[in-house]
Structures are given as C-alpha cells and as structure tokens.
Amino acid sequence: MGFPDVRLRRLRRTPAIRRLFDAPPPPPAKFVWPLFVVEGERRCEPIASMPGQNRMSVDVLLRTLEPVAAQGIGGVLLFGQTEGAKDAGGSGAFDARGVVQRAVPAIKRAFPELAVMTDVCLCAYTAHGHCGPLDRHGQVDNDAANGLLARVAVSHAAAGADVVAPSAMMDGQVRSIREALTENGFEQTLLMAYSTKFASSLYGPFRDAENSAPSAGDRKGYQASYGHPRTALRESEFDEEEGADILMVKPALFYLDVLAEVRRRTDLPVAAYNVSGEYSMIHAAAERGWGDLHAMARESLAALDRAGADLLLSYWAPLYRDLFG
C-alpha cells in the first residue's frame, strides 16, 4: 500500500503529533562540560576562538558551576596547564600542587552531585608541546610517556577524581594507567579512554585555550588517521582489553560512522567528544546569519545521541536549559 492511502505527513502534521513520535532530547545527566583551569584567583579569561568559554581559576570556576550544576549536568572534564617552566617530560602534569589536583577536591566538596573527570596528558606541560617525552630522534617515546601518564592519572585519583581520561594516544597507555591505579589503591577509579581519537583539523580552538600546540611537527604519528578508520577502531578494542571502563570517539560530528560502529562493537559505555572546532563552527555560522545558533546546536547533539553516544562531552553543556528547556 502506498500513496494516496499512506501519507507520512500525517505523522508530523502538528507540533503535538510530532511530540508523540520524536525521540526525546538527551537528558542533562548525559552531558559533561570540558573546562580549562588556570592558576591564581579571580581569573576569567575569555577564549576568543570559543565563544562563551573561558579559562578560569578555581574560585571563579566554582561560582560558574553553580547554575550549571543546578541544571542537572552530569559532570565536568578538567584540563589544566602550567604557567611555570615547562620541561621535556611535562612534570607539572603530575605535581600534587598542580591546578587540576587542587580543583578536583574543591569541585567535589562544592558539588558532590557532579562526576569529576580529568584529562590525562602531557602536551600542555611539555616544553615542546607533544604528548610525551621525545627520544633522541625527536619522536615521542611511547613507553616513557606511559610511565609519566600513569603518574598523572595516580595524582588525579589521589586528588579524588571519579574518572581519569588518558588522551595521549600512546600504545599501552590504558594498561599502564590501570596497573598504576590498582597498585596505588585506586582500583575503583574509572578509566575513560580517548580510544578512537583522530589527528583532526578541528582542535585549533582547544589548542589556543590550552596553549598546547606542538612547537615542531604534528601528532599524526600517534593520533589515528581519518583515512584509516579500521586501525582507529582497533584502538578501542585494545583499550577495552587493557581495562578501560568507558570508550570515547573524538571528534564526534565528523565521525558519526565511527561512533556508531564503536557502539555496535562494545558493551562498554561510549562517550562522544563534541570538540572545540565543531562547537566554534556552529557559532561562526550563526554569527554570519547562516543558521539559528540553538537550533543547529540541538540538531548536532541529537545526531550524537542517535549515533549511540552514552555520554556527550560538549561545550554546549552549560546551555542545556537554553537549548532544550
């Protein structure tokens, strides 16, 4: 049976009818807000390439989180940086007095309902901007990096982080971190692997925010190639075998096919990182009058939810009520 007896427009004729059949928006508890934490007090520095996002000292961050937490947002993902001397091994990343290590307990005291996640990497702390120390050939030393990443993760867990999230894309980093957490009595700490993370052109605004661009070369030697997605999928398989509790696809909107495939292959929770470039592109389009800001944001987030994401790591998180009511 077909037209004229079947008329699909009947199912979308009015707003009331559409509400009956449309999928509900992802709830606020599924959203995680990535945040940039800096040293000092009373600091709130707008990030020019990411409208509405700021680098914040801990005191400002706590005030900013009040209305966000009240919306029921699920958690935050903290990115730190050092304003001291950077070194070849990024030792500031595992300093017990570092800004992330101090921000974690402050947030947990003020907002016990939020899950506190921390990015585990070295790029914002190394003098050369890469995600691990360099060998004599100028390449990232994978195994040496793993030992340092494990120290970072343990320092975050000791501060009280609920979830540590290694993003350096070193082979074996999940195993190294899982073993170190267990050896130090943090076997209950969740490990969210940036398991399928691509060497993407969409990280520019983030690198501005974190001051973490490499001083030479790029990260294509350790981040996955968008032209070889099968190898990228193997990254997620290995991370699951090594003890990850949550897998992640990053970026998200340009990789919905990969996100859906990771969801199909695993029973672990899957996170989608809606990265800085994706966020800023929508803002740029809206500023030029090429679309409605909130409508484009809602549609993009619905796509991630539809592709199978259990968690949405997104800079849109603090605007949840504005987007979805």
By annotation, the residues acting in catalysis are 197, 250
Amino acid at 301: L
Contact in structure between 186 and 177 (CB atoms under 8 Å): no
CA distance 16 to 21: 9
CA distance 149 to 192: 14
- Give 275's Cβ-side CA count (13 Å radius): 21
